């Protein structure tokens, strides 16, 4: 029988092992961040090798027999707190899942992803999907192999979605989209019949340096700690974290589009605030990790849309923007600006789409991924399928690959199964924001004065602090008192757009 004092020794050994694993994964993430920001073009080949080596090291630590023995002993150990017991249970699940991956597969996947990213980057610059197609096809084959390694009950895509959102299945996601999209189409039809907001002033000339400075000012005001993170430029905005005191975000700048950089800054800041809010003492353990990608996306979507596109936010920030860009905003009333940044307009680019049509962008990617993983679509047929579905769902013609199937970085990372979390995140965001406002009815008034401190504190306490101890639905109930209810999102859209478009 294990004594309590021995339990403490076992737990500390386990904690130290998990921290070593976190160290290696952080080094791996740093190399991947560098690959997307500052890596010289000629360094790509060696970087693929280096990333593969670190991936193997991380896999070895994650599947080490000593870790398995520690976890097995700790499952029976007395004297552990509820959080410690949950950490052991979750890491035991992770351990068993990682054991399903042969080391050779891990290395091959890592090397293919590195090569695939470089091919995607070049293909996007050259505006030619064919440059990326061969590497993507190889990556899809590997993801198919991964579904067989992990196992699934109904659809192979279930195994990949479960990696990002535990318990998420095709059956569940089909039902959510099947119920949601027709309702969004009804709202969209009402908007089409209404008068369009004027927004041409958003597409004038906006100096790159001034945009950068304004974006940096805004994300600092939202609570991003620049002593614990930084922002850089990349071809596709993203965020990554090595620990809560080193969180990186990136953005991109279009000198003829005011919204492009700003809202990507706010979106990625939402991710960063979550990472900076995780408990320091739990580094390397589930209790120090984010709950799921759906919850992570809820934070980025909440800050980008419920805060960044709100009327209250711009009561404070519009005078600052008008002073920074007088040539574009001179004579433009605040209300006109607010309506413009919330204009609903079916478009080509997911990251720059409005809150309503955004979900049609997501479902297109979701449908294509399902078909790829089930073998119902070949990689070479993606552009034609993509273009056909953009016409079907959004009524737009895709002019080229760059603005079509090459716009997202996710496939080059092997992140199949990720896209549904964007919509789930939007639904969770609406529910979290409603609960936060219910707990403090002055939140939006404070936002109108440039103060989002109390909103951030509510999120830190109710969403960030628990780490991965709760799954998404448990966390939602902990934070709001009920599991996911998409009616909050629909009510939010109807209220917001009903006022903007007067229906």
* Cα–Cα distance measured from residue 227 to residue 356, given in angstroms and rounded to the nearest whole number: 35
d(CA 265, CA 249): 8
Residue 139 and residue 117 in contact, taking contact as beta carbons nearer than 8 Å: no
pLDDT of residue 135: 97
- pLDDT score of 293: 96
Mean of the per-residue pLDDT values for the chain? 96
- According to CATH, the topology of domain 170-501 is 1.10.1370
Give the three-state DSSP class for 233.
strand
The pLDDT, as a whole number, for residue 352 is 87
Summarize pLDDT for 277-294 with one digit per residue, the tens: 999 999 999 999 999 999
d(CA 139, CA 144): 9
pLDDT band at 1 (very low <50, low <70, confident <90, very high): low
pLDDT computed for residue 434 by the predictor: 98
268 is catalytic: yes
Kindly indicate the confidence band of residue 383, based on its pLDDT and cuts at 50, 70 and 90.
Answer: very high
295, pLDDT greater than 80: yes
Domain ranges of the chain: 4-99, 170-501
Chain-centroid distance, C-alpha 32? 16
**pLDDT on residue 481:** 98
Please pick, among 36, 133, 146, 268, the residue that the annotation labels catalytic.
268
Name the nearest CA neighbour of 305 among 335, 266, 276.
266
Cα separation, 273 vs 275, whole angstroms: 5
pLDDT digits (tens, 9 = 90+) for 302-346: 999 999 999 999 999 999 999 999 999 999 999 999 999 999 999
Q: Would you list the DSSP string of 140-160? A: HHHHHHHHHHH--SS-HHHHH
Q: 31: Cβ–Cβ under 8 A, 6 or more apart, which residues?
A: 47, 50, 51, 54
The pLDDT of residue 236: 85
Cβ-contact 362, 423 below 8 angstroms? yes
Rounded to 5°, angle at Cα 454 from 301 and 298 = 15
In angstroms, how far is the first alpha carbon of the chain from the final one? Answer: 69
For residue range 108-121, what is the model confidence (pLDDT) as tens digits? 999 999 999 999 99
Task: Tell me if 253 sits within 8 A of 212, measured CB to CB.
Answer: yes
Instruction: State the pLDDT at residue 26.
Output: 98
Q: Each residue of 229-272: pLDDT tens digit?
A: 999 999 889 999 999 999 999 999 999 999 999 999 999 999 99
Q: What confidence tens digit (pLDDT) does each residue in 168-214 have?
A: 999 999 999 999 999 999 999 999 999 999 999 999 999 999 999 99
The answer to whether 406 and 131 have CB atoms below 8 angstroms apart is no
Taking only the tens place, the pLDDT of each residue in 19-75 is 999 999 999 999 999 998 999 989 988 999 999 999 999 999 999 999 999 999 999
Task: Give the C-alpha separation, 307 to 456, whole Å.
Answer: 11
What Cα–Cα distance (Å) separates residue 436 from each residue in 44, 121, 125, 308? 45, 40, 42, 16
For every residue of 483-494, which 3-state class applies, written as one string? CCCCHHHHHHHH
Tokens of residue 90, six digits: 């979750």
- pLDDT (tens digit per residue) in 444-462: 999 999 999 999 999 999 9
- The H-or-E segment that residue 70 falls in is helix 65-75
- Reported for 480-485, long-range contacts at CB under 8 A and 24+ positions apart, including other chains, are 480/431, 480/432, 480/434, 480/435, 481/435, 482/431, 484/424, 484/427, 484/428, 484/431, 485/431
Residue 247, SS3? strand
pLDDT at 138 over 70: yes
| Percentage, residues of the chain above pLDDT 90 | 97
Contact present, 225 and 276 (Cβ < 8 Å): yes
pLDDT at 132 over 80: yes
Confidence (pLDDT) at 235: 85
Are 304 and 433 in contact by the 8 Å Cβ rule? The answer is no
Q: Quickly state the pLDDT bin for 493 (edges 50, 70, 90).
A: very high
Q: For residue 67, how far is the Cα from the chain centroid?
A: 30
């Amino acid at each position: 029988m294990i004594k309590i004092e021995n339990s403490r020794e076992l737990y500390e050994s386990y904690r130290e092992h998990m921290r070593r694993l976190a160290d290696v994964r952080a080094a791996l993430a740093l190399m991947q961040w560098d690959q997307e920001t500052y890596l010289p073009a000629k360094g790509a080949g060696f970087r693929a090798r280096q990333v593969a080596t670190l991936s193997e090291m991380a896999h070895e630590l994650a599947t080490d027999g000593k870790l398995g023995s520690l976890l097995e002993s700790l499952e029976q150990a007395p004297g552990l707190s509820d959080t410690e017991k949950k950490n052991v249970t979750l890491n035991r699940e992770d351990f068993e899942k990682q054991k399903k991956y042969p080391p050779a597969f891990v290395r091959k996947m890592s090397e293919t992803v590195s090569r695939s990213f470089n091919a995607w980057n070049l293909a996007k610059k050259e505006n030619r999907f064919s440059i990326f197609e061969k590497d993507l096809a190889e990556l899809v084959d590997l993801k198919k192999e991964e579904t067989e390694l992990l196992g699934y009950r109904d659809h192979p895509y279930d195994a990949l979605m479960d990696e990002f959102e535990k318990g998420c299945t095709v059956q569940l996601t089909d039902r959510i989209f099947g119920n949601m999209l027709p309702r969004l189409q009804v709202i969209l039809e009402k908007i089409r019949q209404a008068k369009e907001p004027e927004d041409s002033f958003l597409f004038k000339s906006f100096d790159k340096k001034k945009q950068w400075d304004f974006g940096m000012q805004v994300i600092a005001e939202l609570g991003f700690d620049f002593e614990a993170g930084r922002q850089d430029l990349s071809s596709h905005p993203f965020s990554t974290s090595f620990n809560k005191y080193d969180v990186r975000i990136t953005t991109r700048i279009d000198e003829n589009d005011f919204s492009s950089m700003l809202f990507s800054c706010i979106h990625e800041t939402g991710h960063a605030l979550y990472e900076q809010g995780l408990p320091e003492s739990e580094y390397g353990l589930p209790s120090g990790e984010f709950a799921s990608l759906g919850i992570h996306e809820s934070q980025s979507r909440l800050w980008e849309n419920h805060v960044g596109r709100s009327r209250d936010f711009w009561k404070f920030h519009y005078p600052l923007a008008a002073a920074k860009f007088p040539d574009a905003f001179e004579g433009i009333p605040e209300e006109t600006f607010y309506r413009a940044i919330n204009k609903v307009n079916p478009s080509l680019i997911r990251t720059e789409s409005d809150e309503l049509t955004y979900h049609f962008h997501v479902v297109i990617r979701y449908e294509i991924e399902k078909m790829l993983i089930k073998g119902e679509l070949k990689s070479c047929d993606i552009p034609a399928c993509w273009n056909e579905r953009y016409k079907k769902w959004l009524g737009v013609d895709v002019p080229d690959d760059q603005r079509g199937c090459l716009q997202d970085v996710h496939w080059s990372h092997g992140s199949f199964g990720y896209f549904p979390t964007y919509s789930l995140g939007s639904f969770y965001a609406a529910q979290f924001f409603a609960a936060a406002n219910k707990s403090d009815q002055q939140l939006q008034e404070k936002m109108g004065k440039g103060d989002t401190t109390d909103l951030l504190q509510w999120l830190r306490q109710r969403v960030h602090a628990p780490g991965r101890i709760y799954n998404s639905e448990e966390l939602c109930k902990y934070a709001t008192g009920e599991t996911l209810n998409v009616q909050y999102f629909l009510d939010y859209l109807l209220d917001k757009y009903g006022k903007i478009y007067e229906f």
